[in-house]
A = this chain, B = another copy of it.
Amino acid sequence: MSDLLRPASAADLVTEAASLLEVLRADPPLTHCITNSVVTGFTANVLLAIGAAPAMVDIVGESGLFAGIASGLLVNLGTPTPEQREASFEAVEGATASGTPWVLDPVAIGALPVRTALAHRLAEQRPTAIRGNASEILALAGLSAGGRGVDATDSADAAIDAARALASRFGSVVAVSGPVDLITDGERVLRLANGHELLTRVTGGGCALGAVMAAFLGAARARATPPLLAVASASLVYTVAAERAASASTGPGSFAVAFLDALAAVQPADIESAARVETAAL
């Protein structure tokens, strides 16, 4: 484990995740998504299932205003049209002015020049959280040319130094998705072992998690939960639901359906009993 990182408390996380899930359902956070054309429908369905209120507003002239009234914002770079690129900057400006927490998902950056430049410029705006696979986090930190696309070609642990560097540079929580998810604020680290391989066989499995992080960050505002715990809570609830769905599935099609059902059904007590949070040294 890197010398400067110490584990956050697993018990704190599990308790907070259970509480935030209740808060979110009692007062659904308006979750503003600028996301890619492949996963818009799935992302909205994930947010609805878990209990949040999605709104896909990616039009210039509307996104800045809307980010100001939303509870949380996601900016996902999966298919960044010129309209979305401009709307993203407008949204981030609106979010920053209003204190709306926001998540940057730098999908498939590295080899692809338009989104890579865009991700670097957006990161300079100090996102509340950055979510990606190891390849994307390495590329954003300038330590790799990125993967072939949205597949991680590196394990999450391989990106720990890049994640820490990004967290310190931009004041962001950085979440690296993989078989074990790694989440850090630059000082503390959490490793979450829940989840299921089928989540990687459904398009949007990672992208929708970014939206759920934005929703949890929105819900966390009422409780003054630290962003590290809000982001990790989103990951924990999401991956526990994935495990429950996998046990009721016979392939990626039935898994996606069962996953939405599980997100709607999962209860705080389920999180507490199923959580596999590792705080041991890396």
Q: Does A204 contact B (CB under 8 A)?
A: yes
Complex Cα distance, B200 from A56, in Å, reads 16
Complex Cα distance, B109 from A66, in Å, reads 12
Give the total of A residues in contact with B, Cβ under 8 Å: 60
Which chain A residues have a beta carbon within 8 Å of chain B's beta carbons? 30, 36-42, 44-45, 48-49, 53-62, 65-66, 69, 78-83, 108, 111-115, 148-151, 200-204, 250-254, 256-262, 264-265
Q: How far is the CB of A251 from chain B (nearest CB, A)?
A: 3
Contact of A149 among B53, B150, B254, B258 (CB under 8 A): B53
Are A41 and B44 in contact, with the CB atoms below 8 A? Answer: no
Q: How far is the CB of A221 from chain B (nearest CB, A)?
A: 15
Q: Which 10 A-B pairs have the closest CB atoms?
A: A253-B260, A251-B261, A44-B203, A55-B149, A253-B257, A38-B40, A253-B261, A251-B264, A62-B112, A61-B114
Are B48 and A202 in contact, with the CB atoms below 8 A? Answer: yes
Complex interface: chain B residues within 8 A of A82 (CB): 83
